[in-house]
Amino acid sequence: MNQQYELEVWQQDELVVGIDEAGRGPLAGPVVVCGVILPKHYSHPVIFDSKKLSLKKRNACFQDILNDAIWIGIEIVDEQTIDQFNIYRATQMAMERLAERCQVKYVLTDAMPLLSRGLSVTSLIKGDQLSISIAAASIVAKVLRDAKMTALDKVYPAYGFAKHKGYGTKEHMLAIEQHGPLPIHRKSFEPIRSLCAFKLDI
């Protein structure tokens, strides 16, 4: 995995935090934002963009990251916060909180500029494919969010959350049509917004 951006910091005898999220696209459930600080000159043969790893490899990497990381921070962005601030700003705010909590100066994010003062922030497009720290954060965020959605599947078994994790699949859309939106659905996302507005008009 690419360490180019980390090496620039490690060579200054400093640490860097990689920050990424899971769950910005789904219609339901939270966004999970994660920050990971890896040891200087850390390498791993498999850590990469979480979406491109098999479930088995992703879970193995998750355990390695838990064992090896110097620091791991998590922020959960719930549906109410997403609806209040919009998905972009709600995610950005969570990343800013993590950047300030971890107490390191150098921050790498996956395509998200941060407004935090006093920090050196580098926002990388496809950062989870360019930075081992961001990739590690993406893996932790995805594993934790998938576990959350699987747990919600037991609370709302008619919606199939364990399978689609809240994304707008045909199965999910059909469940919404048949049973209506849930409290965990994002009311600012279409078609949930229109369905909720329709209910209010009746």
Q: Which residue has the tokens 């390191």?
A: 104
Element (DSSP H or E) covering residue 74:
strand 71-77
For the question of whether the overall pTM of this predicted structure is more than 0.85, the answer is: yes
Return the ∠ at Cα 95 (arms to 27 and 134), rounded to 5°: 90
For position 201, what pLDDT does the model report? 46
**Structural tokens at position 4:** 């180019």
Pick the CATH number of 4-201 from 3.40.50.720, 3.40.50.11540, 3.20.20.140, 3.30.420.10: 3.30.420.10
- CA dist., res. 147 & res. 125, Å (int): 26
Q: What is the DSSP letter of 27?
A: S
pLDDT band at 199, cuts 50/70/90?
A: low
pLDDT digits (tens, 9 = 90+) for 78-126: 999 999 999 999 999 999 999 999 999 999 999 999 998 899 999 999 9
CB 100 within 8 Å of CB 88:
no
pLDDT band at 1, cuts 50/70/90?
A: low
52 pLDDT exceeds 60? Answer: yes
For position 116, what pLDDT does the model report? 86
Phi-psi bin for 186: left (phi > 0), alpha (psi -120 to 50), beta?
Answer: beta
Is the pLDDT higher at 50 or at 21?
21
| 16-44 mean pLDDT | 98
- CA dist., res. 160 & res. 170, Å (int): 11
Q: Is the dihedral of CA 171, 177, 180, 182 positive or negative?
A: positive
Q: Is the dihedral of CA 22, 16, 81, 188 positive or negative?
A: negative
49 pLDDT exceeds 90? Answer: no
For position 195, what pLDDT does the model report? 84
| 159-170 mean pLDDT | 98
pLDDT band at 198, cuts 50/70/90?
A: low
Q: Residue ranges per domain, the chain?
A: 4-201
CB atoms within 10 A of CB 54: 8
| 140-159 mean pLDDT | 98
Evaluate the omega torsion of the peptide bond into residue 113 and state whether it is cis, within 30 degrees of 0.
no
| 51-66 mean pLDDT | 96
Return the ∠ at Cα 75 (arms to 72 and 76), rounded to 5°: 135
